[in-house]
Amino acid sequence: MRRNSFRKGDRVLHPRFGFGVVESRVARPRDDGHLTDYYCIRLSDGGILTMPVARAEDLGLRRIANGLASIRACLRAQAHPLPDNPQERVLELTSRWQDSQALVLVRAVRDLARFGHKRSLTPGDKRWLTRACERLSSEAALVDAIDVADARAAIDREVQKLLAS
């Protein structure tokens, strides 16, 4: 059973294509004559993303939900270890980036920042952390109706505390 069912007007996030708004749900014929339902999502960066309803969650589509309060609370919670091996860590972080549950990315940021307190982050780790914080800042700005720069500053302060403590 699918956890997410999206309606027109829902603000969503796709892990690869970014933020958007569900505009409609349409049925289109396949080559075999059967109909397949699709979400039509207007992306904030422009364009339309058409995604099969049956695979939307598997492809990481989710409602935006992370405001600053929930992000801060999650960043302040107990961190979980990440693999020491850089290749294994990349796989773990990639999996979390694509997850359709709202707080998984926040937990990954927290865990990587705490990892960075004890060990040096690789250049790839640093790039991933920067991109993740950018995405969380954009989401918090949308959810809380605040400026992205203000959201980014608040998230960066929390991450810097994790890296330093």
**C-alpha span between 145 and 60 (Å, rounded):** 24
pLDDT at res. 33: 85
Q: What topology is assigned to 11-63 in CATH?
A: Thrombin, subunit H (2.40.10)
CATH 2.40.10.170 domain position(s) in the chain: 11-63
pTM summary value: 0.86
**Extended strands (E) in the chain:** 11-14, 18-29, 35-43, 48-52, 62-63
Tens digit of pLDDT for each residue in 122-161?
999 999 999 999 999 999 999 999 999 999 999 999 999 9
- Give me the CATH code for the 68-164 domain, please: 1.20.58.1290
CATH 1.20.58.1290 domain position(s) in the chain: 68-164
**Percentage of the chain with pLDDT > 90?**
87
pLDDT bracket for residue 55 (50, 70, 90): very high
If you average pLDDT over every residue of the chain, what do you get? 93
pLDDT at res. 3: 54
DSSP state of 5: -
Q: Which helix (H) or strand (E) holds 149?
A: helix 148-164
